[in-house]
């Protein structure tokens, strides 16, 4: 089927051969050099699909100008329900809203004029695929993808009130380590120094940063084993998912590190890790994905102490922003993280919209009564 021609000579069409087929075009287009999270690289999306997408039907659109890739959207069609109705749902690949291994920073990467290209891609998706439900997950409200998708799906104020936003936390480091430390409260600085002194009194305390893809993968495996050690048999036991999700996290670390876009930190005490933080690195930003700490030393806050160490490490190397991901907890608050509400964009482009809104109205009345 021919693609949709939009402004100028940009054409949007379906990519039937999967995200891996776009890798060479992505590299040549320069899209990967922009300030998009490395999770949007077609190779990363393809990796997720191979490990975790067995039940999903991939739906990918690409946009080209004069034959060159200028944007793409990696979507998947999965089963869902609205009440007793079983329906198909369109989502970003890997964005299942809270499942282990989720791709958390979903978006449509596009060249300029970005808004026009994003709009064309989304319009083509709606007209080409008659999928009754869309759930694009939590989107950055500053991205044109969020605004355009909300308008296209007719997401109204009452819909947004029903779907709670998710706080995504970031930490800006405009003035480097000294300025960051000075901006913290005296109590926070005192607690940090106290934790360092207590841990240093037990042995040699140091920050270790991985050097190879295999070491990055090993750190992820250590982190997961530590989590299992402390949380097995509790409600937190499955935070890192099943064997497939864990294998994906390890493979993803190797993939990104091979591209120079991954960081794996460990706080070591006499050579043994007691806290971990791993994530992607791109365009002067660190995207923290996984954290854990050895609860043997919990009284001395090794997880927060590691965070301070990695903040110093990153700020001394010119990093000016750390993305801490969804959810605001005590550690992120202590570090000075700021939360931005990411709205959940869920809508119904056709006949199902009225049924869904009736159900929401009934649900709201039930909560009041």
132 plus 179 within the same structural domain: no
Assign 163 a pLDDT band (cuts: 50, 70, 90): confident
- The pLDDT of residue 351 is 75
Give 355's pLDDT tier (boundaries 50, 70, 90): confident
Provide the CATH number for the domain around residue 293: 3.40.630.30
- Looking at the structure, tell me whether residues 203 and 278 fall in a common domain: yes
pLDDT at 362 over 90: no
Q: What is the pTM of this model?
A: 0.92
Q: Which helix (H) or strand (E) holds 131?
A: none
| 288, 275 Cβ separation under 8 angstroms | no
- Residue 61: which domain range? 4-164+348-368
Whether residues 132 and 109 fall in one domain = yes
Per residue in 248-306, pLDDT tens? 999 999 999 999 999 999 999 999 999 999 999 999 999 999 999 999 999 999 999 99
What's 110's DSSP letter? Answer: B
Give residue-wise pLDDT tens across range 80-96.
988 888 999 999 999 98
The whole-angstrom separation of Cα 105 and Cα 119 is 19
Residues 270 and 145 occupy one common structural domain: no
Burial class of residue 84 in the structure, from the number of CB atoms within 10 Å of its CB (0-12 exposed, 13-18 middle, 19+ buried): exposed
| 88 shares a domain with 10 | yes
Whether 366 has a pLDDT exceeding 60, the answer reads no
- Under a CB-based contact definition with an 8 Å cutoff, are residues 58 and 9 in contact? no
List, for residues 211-233, the tens digit of each pLDDT value. 899 999 999 999 999 999 999 99
Convert the pLDDT of each residue in 175-204 to its tens digit: 999 999 999 999 999 999 999 999 999 999
């Amino acid at each position: 089927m021919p693609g949709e021609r939009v402004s100028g000579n940009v054409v949007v069409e379906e990519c039937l051969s999967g995200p891996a087929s776009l890798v060479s075009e992505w590299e040549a287009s320069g899209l990967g050099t922009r300030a998009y999270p490395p999770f949007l690289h077609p190779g990363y999306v393809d990796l997720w699909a191979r490990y975790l997408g067995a039940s999903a039907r991939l739906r990918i659109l690409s946009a080209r100008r004069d034959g060159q890739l200028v944007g793409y959207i990696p979507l998947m069609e999965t089963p869902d329900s609205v009440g007793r109705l079983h329906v198909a749902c369109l989502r970003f690949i890997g964005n299942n809203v809270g499942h282990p291994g989720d791709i958390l920073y979903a978006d449509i990467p596009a060249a300029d004029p970005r808004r026009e290209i994003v709009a064309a891609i989304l319009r083509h998706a709606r007209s080409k695929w008659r999928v009754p439900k869309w759930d694009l997950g939590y989107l950055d409200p500053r991205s044109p993808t969020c605004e355009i998708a909300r308008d296209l799906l007719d997401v109204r104020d009452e819909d947004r009130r029903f779907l709670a936003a998710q706080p995504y936390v970031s930490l800006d480091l405009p003035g480097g380590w000294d300025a960051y430390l000075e901006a913290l409260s005296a109590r926070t600085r005192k607690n940090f120094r106290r934790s360092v002194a207590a841990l240093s009194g037990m042995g040699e305390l140091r920050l270790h940063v991985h050097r190879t893809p295999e070491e990055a993968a090993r750190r992820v495996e250590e982190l997961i084993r530590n989590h299992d050690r402390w949380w097995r048999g509790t409600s937190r036991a499955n935070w890192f998912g099943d064997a497939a999700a864990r294998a994906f996290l390890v493979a993803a670390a190797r993939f990104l590190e091979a591209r120079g876009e991954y960081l794996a930190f460990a706080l070591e005490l006499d050579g043994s890790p007691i806290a971990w933080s791993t994530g992607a690195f791109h365009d002067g930003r660190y995207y923290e994905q996984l954290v854990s700490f050895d609860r043997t030393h919990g009284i001395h806050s090794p997880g927060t102490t590691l965070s301070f160490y990695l903040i110093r490490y990153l700020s001394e190397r010119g990093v000016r922003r750390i993305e801490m991901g969804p959810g605001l907890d005590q550690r992120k608050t202590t570090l000075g993280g700021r939360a931005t509400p990411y709205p959940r964009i869920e809508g119904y482009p056709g006949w199902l919209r009225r049924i869904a809104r009736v159900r929401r109205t009934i649900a709201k009345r039930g909560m009041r009564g």
